[in-house]
Amino acid sequence: MSPQQPQPKLPIRGVKNLIAIGSGKGGVGKTTVSVNLAIALARQGFKIGLMDADVYGPNVPLMMGINQTPMAHGERIQPLERHGVKLMSMGFLNPGDKPLVWRGPMLHSVIQQFLRGVDWGELDYLLIDLPPGTGDVQLTLLQTAPVTGAIVVTTPSAVSLEDARKAVHMFEQVKVSILGIVENMSYLQCPHCDERIHVFSHGGGRTTAETMGIHFLGELPLDPKVGIAGDSGAPIALQPGVFDGLAKAMIARVEEVGLPLGPTVSITD
């Protein structure tokens, strides 16, 4: 096995900050966080794009309530737009239930096309909704794009936290700053007595962040309204709420981190 040559991290035309949103495992609400965070940032006046890099399970079109095919002007794909957010997803190009059976080189090609072949225009933040895990899509993005920082989404459960730590180590290995950990499904607010019920345990995200020496961006509740809103294509962040606080916490961390880190790394085959 021979190491691949490091590739230069060329900037994305017009994009000031590239934010990777990842998780060590599926089922933690990473796409829900990505979609609502994007909308919350747009509501605060920022120019926002959301790239759905989960090519095997692209859920952004459903959650954003849009089912169209992007057009091309010359060699540039025009992103779709919904709720003030520019969007690109494999779900627009491969709609319905037909699965994609792709291997590494094809994944690399589509990620590069989404990054550099889409006419994103001028953006303050381009959020990348990564697939769960630490595979080809993540490495393709992190090795070739100047990522400003990464957000790791977890639930409070021990299983989720174990995989979240793997995601943190992956970002650290490729020299990407960790903006922080988000604990999703942190608690359920009882509609009758207003008591917080900790369905999946509680506090593991904050404890993990403290142990690993990284920031904790906050807790998000397990709220049935979030799922209903996402399924209807009208995400809950269209109204003021907890995602506004998450957006402000992310912006503060980006300001602390500063410019994207430049070093590349070699990954062996």
pLDDT band at 261 (very low <50, low <70, confident <90, very high): very low
pLDDT band at 2 (very low <50, low <70, confident <90, very high): very low
- Laid out side by side, the sheet with 48-52 consists of 80-82, 85-89, 48-52, 123-129, 15-22, 149-154, 178-183, 216-219
pLDDT band at 101 (very low <50, low <70, confident <90, very high): low
pLDDT band at 96 (very low <50, low <70, confident <90, very high): low
Q: Is 161 left (phi over 0), alpha (psi -120 to 50) or beta?
A: alpha
pLDDT tens digits, one per residue of 119-137: 999 999 999 999 887 677 7
Q: Is 178 left (phi over 0), alpha (psi -120 to 50) or beta?
A: beta
Lowest mean pLDDT among 3-7, 147-151, 200-204: 3-7
Q: What is the pLDDT of residue 259?
A: 53
Q: What is the pLDDT of residue 58?
A: 86
Q: What is the pLDDT of residue 98?
A: 59
pLDDT tens digits, one per residue of 162-198: 999 999 999 998 889 999 999 999 999 887 888 888 8
Q: What is the pLDDT of residue 105?
A: 63
The secondary structure of residue 193, as a DSSP letter, is: T
SS3 262: coil
> Whole-angstrom Cα distance, residue 104 to residue 92?
21
Asked if 158 contacts 203 with a C-beta cutoff of 8 angstroms, the reply is no
- pLDDT greater than 70 at residue 95: no
> Whole-angstrom Cα distance, residue 41 to residue 151?
15
Lowest mean pLDDT among 107-116, 120-129, 237-246: 107-116
**CATH number of the domain located at residue range(s) 15-257 in this protein:** 3.40.50.300
Over range 66-74, report the average pLDDT: 90
- pLDDT greater than 70 at residue 247: yes
Q: Report how far apart, in Å, the C-alpha atoms of 178 and of each of 9, 80, 183, 226 are.
A: 18, 29, 15, 26
SS3 242: helix
Query: What share of the chain in percent tops pLDDT 70?
Result: 88
For the chain, strand residue ranges (E) read 15-22, 48-52, 72-73, 76-77, 80-82, 85-89, 123-129, 149-154, 178-183, 188-189, 196-197, 216-219
Q: What is the pLDDT of residue 1?
A: 38
Of residues 126 and 7, more confidence is placed in: 126
Lowest mean pLDDT among 40-54, 104-118, 146-160, 219-233: 104-118
Residues facing 152 on adjacent strands: 22, 181
Asked if 143 contacts 7 with a C-beta cutoff of 8 angstroms, the reply is yes
Q: What is the pTM of this model?
A: 0.89
Q: What is the pLDDT of residue 43?
A: 97
Average pLDDT of the residues of the chain: 87
Over range 210-237, report the average pLDDT: 95
Residue indicated by tokens 């359920």: 188
Lowest mean pLDDT among 12-26, 119-133, 233-247, 254-268: 254-268
Name the strand (E) or helix (H) holding 92: helix 90-93
